[in-house]
Amino acid sequence: MVPEDVVVPEDDSVRRFNRLDEVRAVAVLQECCNSPAWASRVARARPFADSAALLEHADRALAEISEADVDDALAGHPRIGERPDNASSAREQSGVTGSDASVIAELRDCNAAYEDRFGHVYLVFANGRPAEELLGILKQRMHNDAETERRVLREELSKINRARLLRMLASEPEAGKGAMT
């Protein structure tokens, strides 16, 4: 699933990514997903023929990493409704910006209840969705058992990773900043 606001990059972007040394490739990948294990698995699998092959391997790597590695990935995600600390999260949570204060307060309370129940941050592919929708999803997911919720969490993380990878490939490198320089 490709988010509507993401342009699928040309193969030249994938070739540029393939040419990065492993240290730089892992660093760029960790900007997409905070799991060192995931980033290392994806970087070591290069070269990729195209963006579809990269996305497929990224999904496979996510399915293969341990729960502790998934927890590393979660550490890179702010709570839904809190001020994002990075550009990717800010873009993804843009639909929450300017939401009614009562909805944000309820989201904060439900985030805390979710974390108490499952032991980790509520992760959802926000992609500009409004706070009310994200709150509704959170409330529904509170009914999941722990095993189901971990499966759902990995599915949501996969969607986020895919969108971030495509944005990474589509981004033009800036001197000394992010992307693939």
Q: Give pLDDT tens digits along the chain (181 positions).
A: 444 554 455 678 999 999 999 999 999 999 999 999 999 999 999 999 999 999 999 999 999 999 999 999 999 888 887 765 667 665 667 667 778 889 999 999 999 999 999 999 999 999 889 999 999 999 999 999 999 999 999 999 999 999 999 999 998 543 334 555 5
pLDDT of residue 180: 59
**Residue 176 falls inside a structural domain:** no
Nearest in space to 140 (alpha carbons), one of 152, 128, 129: 152
Is residue 62, in this structure, part of any structural domain at all?
Answer: yes
pLDDT of residue 174: 39
Domain that holds residue 56: 11-170
Q: What is the pLDDT of residue 57?
A: 98
- Give the separation between CA 51 and CA 16, rounded to whole angstroms: 12
Nearest-CA neighbor of 131 among 164, 149, 109, 153? 109
Number of domains in the chain: 1
| 177 part of a folded domain | no
